[in-house]
Amino acid sequence: MSKEAEEIWEKNVAETGNVVINKEMFIKAWKGEFLKRKDLLELLKLSKKIFQHEKQLLEIKSEKTFFIGDTHGDFQTSKWALKKIFATDKGKIVFLGDYVDRGPEQIENINLLLAAKILAPKKIILLRGNHESPLANKYYGFFKEILRQYDAETYKEYNETFSFMPYVVLLNDKVLGLHGGIPENLKEVEEINSFSKGDLMPSNKKALQILWNDPKEYVGTFSPSIRGPGIMYFGRETFKRFMEKNKLSFLIRAHEYFPPCIKYFFDGKLVSIFSCRFYPECKPKMLVFRKEKIEEVLELNI
């Protein structure tokens, strides 16, 4: 078990040429062991620094790219995904947010992902979800979980780190990945880069909607969502206009649970995936892109 983590650590340190996360910390996170408070704060500091340097619209170029949806404390599924990406020589993986709340191993899950991010920052993309905010994680489990293991100060540090995670990824200029959906009044994707970093809730309306909005097949432009005030459903017209204007071919998002954990919208140009095994009739899914096309949908069998 620790041999596996050791090999991954060694291979990636050799590739990047520098040691940012020490071996013991990585192995502990890989095994799902809790870190001492001091080490945990170091993990958060190191990952925050990386997120601070990433643009809000993170542009990547990649031949092979994995996309994975909400994991919500599903440590085993995240590890399954990471093993796949670490087994490839090239390629990247995009986690679409919602790492904490709800599931049984929230601290283990987020720490594993942050440790992997620090080890291989170009290979692993962690987007922000609506649960990477006190708006959700104060009420859906994570806050209590942190209080049980650590303290309120540590919880603040987590949220501070979350607030620097990028909102959107743009793959090969054509494929867009984000947690929730298209916000009102956003015409060009480049505008996302103007959203401030470190926005805790976030207070920016468009950023909030990127994290919270949902697609609806029979809505035209927008209609209010049952999720709460300021949150919207976006429909076919909005989708079509936005994709054309930005010359995009595909939108990948997560955020909603639909058995069997994958659903296509708008003539197959939007795909919604979910990757947490604690929901009924849901085997976690992972999309594999070859350039700008879906090559395969992987499924975790546990």
> Which parts of this chain interact with Mn ion (CB under 5 A)?
98, 129-130, 255
Amino acid of residue 296:
E
Report yes or no: 195 and 167 within 8 Å, Cβ to Cβ: yes
- Gap between the Cα atoms of 113 and 206, Å rounded: 26
CB nearer Mn ion, residue 121 or residue 181? 181
CB nearer Mn ion, residue 129 or residue 141? 129
CB nearer Mn ion, residue 86 or residue 143? 143
Least separation, in Å, of the C-beta of 265 and Mn ion? 16
Q: Pick from 180, 50, 206, 36: which is nearest to 124 by CA?
A: 50
Q: In this structure, what DSSP letter does residue 267 have?
A: G
Cis ω for the linkage preceding 260 (within 30 of 0): yes
- For strands 124-126 and 92-95, give the pairing: parallel
Report yes or no: 123 and 160 within 8 Å, Cβ to Cβ: no
Active site residues: 131
Least separation, in Å, of the C-beta of 258 and Mn ion? 13
Least separation, in Å, of the C-beta of 103 and Mn ion? 13
CB nearer Mn ion, residue 206 or residue 255? 255
Sequence-distant (≥ 6) Cβ neighbours of residue 183 within 8 angstroms:
205, 206, 207, 208, 209, 210, 213, 232
Q: Pick from 65, 126, 99, 113: which is nearest to 286 by CA?
A: 65
Least separation, in Å, of the C-beta of 254 and Mn ion? 7
CB nearer Mn ion, residue 91 or residue 129? 129
Least separation, in Å, of the C-beta of 290 and Mn ion? 27
